[in-house]
Structure 1
């Protein structure tokens, strides 16, 4: 059963602290008038926006500028601690930006959340925190969704079970649609053929597994690859680096 604890927000530098256990929790698409630093001190936090999807272990966070729509998924046994900052504060990034979380940045975030200091003290701590936020180069793995109900049913089925090797012909029979129609819809509405789109789904599904520290071979098998080498080759082609290096500092 999930548990939630929450601190009230403050106008001069709001902090939201939510603790989740077991099943975790999802925040559907929303936006804030303040900047947000999406971070989890333990577990895995996944953030999605029109710009992409990011999987964040405790060593990374995502700066989300004010006004940017996003959704968040907290995995099992994940403790989410997201500080918010006034729109005139922060590094000035205008798009979601992944940053590394150093030991000092971690302690500053937890300090702000736990102590709720006065305005002046908070702003000093925020300034030090901003100095610690260094962008980490990452390649986002986009999974655009089709709009047509026929293709959308297939897309949801693939996302629910990325390891399913069903061909587009099989999906056409399952959904009572022609293969040609599904192929046309995926290309027209996602910008990529079905096979490439499913590869993106599999790579995105592998990221939380890799972030949890699972071996590459285990992650590859769980998302539908029969050999680790095939998964590594596809992952490297999509991101430019092998899966074992994706969550390390670069």
Structure 2
């Protein structure tokens, strides 16, 4: 298919092809509000960067990964800068063997090439060759490694209020004690429950939120120095060192992945 726009009637019915694949590009920001459909969906980019959210968390997704969302799960998405991407819609009965919860999977070359080939199919029933390729795509989704690439959100309403405020403004440098007073929770309780509900200490979670926002800003072509200062780092070199330790490349080198992919 030439673009990512599909008739909602196709994604909200499980009869028809086992998979429906769309692929396309857009030079401006692409955004979809919170929605759900009865088909499961795998989506990601082959160029550029997207942010995808569900109730449990938010992912900033580079071209090396894709996000799987099971049927009927509410989700939203937004691209950053020029974007080229794909979406695979899987009939609900065939999702039984796929991950039961939203997750980030590492893309294999086989999955990428199979999807891009399927995106060129005309709409309608699959022939025998199409059914075989659809089977390969489902096998790859089912067996691809799951990576903890996202930003998990806590369930407690007080902690969730803090997390959403920090996700909106990762540069906010209030201390844990300040946030505890703001959300009317004890500082020790905040610290303990944050680890229990997200798997991260409060400090590590906030650092992760800043780094994921940095990826978005890199994709939007924001200068590295401005990113560092806007996100509250004391110096650009502090930001660059932390980014390199986390992602294995400097911010400038990582930015090239969005362009070259």
Secondary structure at the aligned position of 1:62 is classed as: strand
Verify: 1:62 aligned to 2:98, yes or no. no
Verify: 1:214 aligned to 2:226, yes or no. no
Aligned equivalents of 2:92, 2:177: Cα separation in 1? 50
| Residues paired across the two proteins, number | 239
What do you get for the CA RMSD once the two structures are aligned? 4.7
Secondary structure at the aligned position of 1:119 is classed as: coil
Contact 2:104 2:150 in 1 (8 A): no
Contact 2:104 2:147 in 1 (8 A): no
Structure 2 stretches of 5 or more lacking a match? none
How much has 1:120 moved relative to structure 2?
A: 1.9
- The residue correspondences of 1:1-250 to structure 2 (distance < 5 A) are 5-7=5-7, 8-9=9-10, 11-15=16-20, 24-27=31-34, 36-40=41-45, 44-48=49-53, 54-56=59-61, 59-60=63-64, 62=66, 64=68, 71-75=75-79, 81-85=86-90, 96-99=104-107, 108=117, 110-112=119-121, 115-116=122-123, 119-120=126-127, 123=130, 126=133, 140-246=148-254, 248=257
Normalized per residue, which structure has more helix?
Answer: 2
How much has 1:38 moved relative to structure 2?
A: 0.7
Does 1 or 2 have the higher relative contact order (CA < 8 Å, sep 6+)? 2
* TM-score (normalizing by structure 2): 0.63
How much has 1:162 moved relative to structure 2?
A: 0.5
Aligned equivalents of 2:156, 2:84: Cα separation in 1? 37
* TM-score (normalizing by structure 1): 0.65
Aligned equivalents of 2:18, 2:125: Cα separation in 1? 10
Flag the 1:244–1:136 CA change in 2: closer, same or farther, 3 A. farther
Secondary structure at the aligned position of 2:159 is classed as: helix
How much has 1:201 moved relative to structure 2?
A: 1.3
How much has 1:231 moved relative to structure 2?
A: 1.6
Name whichever of 174-183 and 163-172 sits farther off.
Answer: 174-183
